[in-house]
Chain A
Amino acid sequence: MNLSFRFLTGLLFIFLSFSLPLSAEEIVYDRYAAAGLEGELLGNSSGAGEMFKNWGKHFLVYPFELVRWPIDQTLVFVEKHHVDDKVEWVYEQMKNHGVTPKVRSLLGGEGLGGGFDIDVTKLSGMKENLPNLTVEGSALWTVDHLTLYEGKLTAEEIVRYENRGEEHFYGIGPNTSLGDGTSFRMERSTFETALGLSFLNTWDVRGHFSFQNVNITNGEDGGRGIIDEIFVRTNRQVIPGLGGDELVNLGVKVEHDNRDLQDLPSRGGYQRFYLGYTKGMDGSSGFLTYRGEAAHFVKFLSDRQVLALRGVAEHHDELGDRQVPFFGMSRLGGYGVSPRLGDAHRGFKRDRFFDESLLLANLEYRWTVYNYRDWRMDAVVFWDEGQVFGEWSGLQWDDFRSSVGFGVRISMADDILLTLEIARSGDGTEFYAKTKTPF
């Protein structure tokens, strides 16, 4: 009985448990109702209160809107009218017709400027009839008055004219002073014929014969003393080649290059050896040049990290009682890159050190910090260590100079577009904005 009662009570409890909620009346509400918005609506009228409130929140930004507006207009204009495509098309057309626009590199000693590479055979329409003939030239102008004309008459014959209005000179040897800086103008005309052979995709041998006419005069920077006054008369130094010269040069260069990429290699390297003979027509200059350069690139822990190491050794050996003119000496300082610039020692000004020989080591650690499609940015920390000296016996451990620095390099499809670097040395700090890497 007791059991039955409990069973019935249980049933009743279960029944009530289920039936009560079902019989409960739900007080419904419209969950998606537009009424009763939580936030205060702004209303459509632009009242003074709202305007004042907005102004208070954003008044610091308003001046910048004056900059944004024209840029926005420009970008919309460019995209809508396909200006970038048109520019690219015009560029390709100009190039196909023999005129290739060029933009010079930015900060760091070479100045900002532009010009054209001119392919005379294409421009004159001779390319179809004479496919093997190449007549090229370039005309570049930069803001620091470096004017340069360069022409290639055939594939291996080069005519070049340079007029460098403001070359800096700080004296010869490893212990010169930045305060003794002078400037000079160098006008150089070069006629060169060369014969080259490339094989196995990685080897290149090139022999050349050239004639150079070099004129040295006072630099355009009036605020600096001229070389004669500072070094010859005051410091009683001998600066060979101050009067310029006509030089005949014969040389051979052997290069082995197995880098995976030209601009941003992650493996492989290159080795370059050069032997040259140079003799001045006025009888005062004559020397042999020996130069060895090697760079190696290795992935470090991952393919996003690369160690890059480069070493350079160069020596100019005087022939008999002849001398090495100062403009033909080894030079150290600056970002390097161009064959007519000193080797890279980035904490120092361009061509900061002159002497008959140099030893240089560059070490870089590069790592990728940004990717977007083909765009990429690498960061780099570097250490440059080098010195100039006269004879090998003059090589002194204490004469080595160090530079350290940091930079970022922006590239697209493995082609460097911009590199921004800052370097520090005993001389001070140097900044660079370039479109190439030093090695």
Chain B
Amino acid sequence: MRKQKLLFKAATLLLAFVFAQTGVPFAGTASSSYSKRETGLYRDVFDQSVYYEGTEPLHLERLSRGLRGAGKRARNVNAFDEVPDSTFFTNRHGREPLSEGALKQGPAADGGPDPGGDWAITKGKFEGLTPGFFIRDSQGERYLLKFDPIDNLELNTGAEAVTSRFLHAIGYPVPSYTLVSFKKEKLVIDPQATIYDESGFQKKLTPEGLDEFLLFIPETGDGGYRASASRILEGEILGPMKFQGRRRDDPEDTVNHEDRREIRALQVFASWLNNNDMRESNSLDVVQERDGQRRIWHYLIDFGSSLGAASGGPKPPMFGHELMLDYGETLKAIFSFGFWKKPWQKRWDEAGREVQSPSIGYFDNRHFRPARFRTQLPYFPFKDLTRSDGFWAAKILMRFTDDDIKVLVSTGEFSAKKAEEALAGTLIERRDLIGRYWFKQANPLDEFRFFNEGGAYELRFEDLAVRHGFVPETGSVYRVEVIAGKGKRRIRVAQEDIQEQTVRINSDWLTRYPSLDLLIRTRRPNAVTWGPFVRVRIESQAGVPRLAGILHQD
């Protein structure tokens, strides 16, 4: 019977197609100076999994790059291979470690809905996998309350609280997410409150309707309810951010989003936080006025499907391993005639086909390969992630110490300490797996500092792989090629293999050449080949040298 229902739905979808073409107005206000955009899961799935996957070979530039195996360098990085602050990203923990208090607070500076008065439900969303409702607290602030599945108290709410703080600390604009516990008596129904129930029709919310809804929400030990309260963003909502292309109506949006490093790096952060639901419809462009300036901020939202959680319960076993429509994996499975066991199948079997904890869900590091992590949908920027993009993301996440991670996980307020420790342990282990991987892909030399010692110049750097214990402290060799000039006039001035993390610059070179490139490659103990390079540029102006650029090979 389900089959007939689906076929019937498919037939009526055709009618909707016709209806949708007749000019039914979509959101968009004539008064706004910004264009608005609407998308959702259905459109995202069609666009990314069907349309762009199908037409990708027709993008000549992508095709050419694919054939050459060449990466495309991010275009919003500065001369020092860093991402400057913008409305997309603010360097936080990567620049200067945040305090424990700042980590815990994250974006939730408001502290959540006012616990003092009633919460008026203004709108409900009772259908679908993640039901919730909008409330207005006694201070007039609006929040979206979202709940856990009936058998998994703390699962989605905890994931949302934890992941939002991680992403905030990393640097992304994120709304405030606060965990709240309340009794039913706290809720009042606004006279104008409506709901979309399972019929798909909008109805007036009644006390009976609310009671029915609460039947499917898990109760806490004291007979109350737990929810994640997300503060409704102030400002003009423009709809989801595009992960490719750019807004033509935003003077600050000057780089195509697929070429933005922080958008590409979402793939790495998603792999760490197991947030396979990273998609356009889980983002929001909002016009906000800050410090007297009206700008479009690009928020990430909705993290209830991160860590071990997914909509409706623990993460299904294939999540994070395969795309929603993974043609490559499916073809491999077809041509292997079932004799090849997919990694997620191995992992699920090894886990005894059981989730580890109802509140943590399904999250471990068995068969986790950083480069093999898959979000649900295959966005171009995630495909375009280069070595240096991955390295940039990895060095930020390696800034989170074990204690930082434990502090952030504690914001999930999990009642089972053992589960909380397991979650923190998984994140710590996964951080190291990701760091180890990307520090091997790129040359992990960073934190370059340039010194003048009475006319003798030194370039000092940190080998992050050594610092984090991924390679032995001794035995790594750094080959420094000194190249002067630019373009076809480049000449190699010197070459030296060193073991210390300091390069002494011959002052004659600085006198003779206005621009010097130090091309540094690393060879690890027992390795026979040299890895990718880091290019450090030193320029002299009026006899005064300065560090002018850093570039990790893509």
Contacts and interface: CB of A to CB of B under 8 A. Distances in A.
Q: Do A and B come from one complex?
A: yes
Interface of A: 20-21, 23-27, 29, 31-44, 46, 56-58, 60-61, 64, 68, 70-89, 91, 95, 100-103, 114, 301-302, 304-305, 365, 367-373, 377, 379, 381, 408, 412-413, 415-417, 435
A114 to B, nearest CB: 7
Contacts of A38: 73-75, 77-79, 81, 549, 551
A33 B198 contact: no
Given A72-B47, A76-B26, A76-B39, A86 B78 contact: no
A31 B549 CA distance: 9
Interface in B49-107: 51, 54-55, 58-61, 73-86, 91, 95
B254 A60 contact: no
Contacts of B60: 56-58, 60
B79 A83 contact: no
Contact of A64 (B51, B201, B322): B51
B43 A75 contact: yes
16 contacts: A26-B450, A27-B545, A34-B86, A38-B79, A38-B549, A39-B75, A60-B58, A72-B47, A73-B20, A75-B46, A77-B16, A82-B200, A83-B200, A100-B4, A372-B316, A412-B2
Contacts of B250: 44
Nearest to A44: B251
Contacts of B345: 304
A114 B11 contact: yes
A77 B491 CA distance: 61
Contact of A41 (B4, B255, B330): B255
A89 B79 contact: no
Contacts of A304: 338, 345
B341 interface: yes
Nearest to A46: B248
A102 B324 CA distance: 29
Contact of A29 (B76, B80, B338): B80
A78 B127 CA distance: 15
Given A27-B450, A38-B551, A89-B198, A72 B46 contact: yes
Nearest to B253: A44
A32 B85 contact: yes
A27 B451 contact: yes
Contact of A27 (B51, B61, B547): B547
Give the residue among A73, A100, A413, A435 with the most B Cβ atoms within 10 A.
A73
B5 interface: yes
B339 A301 contact: yes
A83 B8 CA distance: 12
A43 B75 CA distance: 12
Nearest to A366: B338
Given A29-B547, A70-B21, A89 B199 contact: yes
Q: For the complex of A and B, list the 9 residue pairs with the smallest distance between their C-beta atoms, beginning with the closest.
A: A39-B75, A367-B338, A85-B200, A82-B200, A86-B200, A36-B79, A369-B333, A103-B7, A34-B84
A99 to B, nearest CB: 12
B452 interface: yes
Contacts of A84: 9, 13, 200
Given A24-B452, A25-B452, A370-B330, A413 B2 contact: yes
Interface in B305-330: 316-318, 322, 324-326, 329-330
Contacts of A61: 55, 58-59
B453 A27 contact: no
Interface of B: 1-13, 16-17, 19-21, 24, 26, 38-43, 46-47, 51, 54-55, 58-61, 73-86, 91, 95, 127, 196, 198-201, 246, 248, 250-251, 253-256, 259, 316-318, 322, 324-326, 329-330, 333-334, 337-339, 341, 345, 449-454, 458, 545-547, 549, 551
Given A29-B80, A32-B91, A301-B339, A20 B47 contact: no
Contact of A82 (B54, B79, B127, B549): B127
Give the residue among B43, B199, B316, B453 with the most A Cβ atoms within 10 A.
B43
B546 A29 contact: yes
A400 to B, nearest CB: 26
A103 to B, nearest CB: 4
Contacts of B318: 371-372
B9 A87 contact: yes
Contacts of A100: 1, 4
Nearest to B348: A371
B489 to A, nearest CB: 21
B40 A85 contact: no
B339 to A, nearest CB: 7
A32 B13 contact: no
Contacts of B13: 74, 78, 83-84, 87
Contacts, number: 248
Given A79-B40, A79-B41, 11 more contacts: A20-B453, A24-B451, A24-B452, A25-B451, A36-B78, A36-B549, A39-B73, A41-B75, A60-B59, A72-B46, A78-B42
A54 B500 CA distance: 47
A369 B76 contact: no
A37 B81 CA distance: 9
B388 to A, nearest CB: 10
B78 A370 contact: no
B385 to A, nearest CB: 15
A365 to B, nearest CB: 8
Contacts of B333: 367-370, 379
Contacts of B6: 412, 417
Contacts of B451: 21, 24-27
Contacts of A60: 55, 58-60
A87 B42 contact: no
A175 to B, nearest CB: 35
B254 A44 contact: yes
A71 B50 CA distance: 11
B450 A29 contact: yes
A32 B95 contact: yes
Contacts of A87: 8-9, 12-13, 200
A42 B40 contact: no
Contacts of A39: 73-77, 255, 259
Contact of B78 (A33, A42, A365): A33
Contacts of B200: 81-89
A114 B58 CA distance: 38
Contact of A435 (B3, B127, B546): B3
A415 B254 CA distance: 49
A24 B51 CA distance: 58
Contacts of A32: 78, 80, 82-85, 91, 95
A24 B458 contact: yes
Nearest to A101: B8
B58 A35 contact: no
A41 B260 CA distance: 11
Contacts of A74: 13, 16-17, 20-21
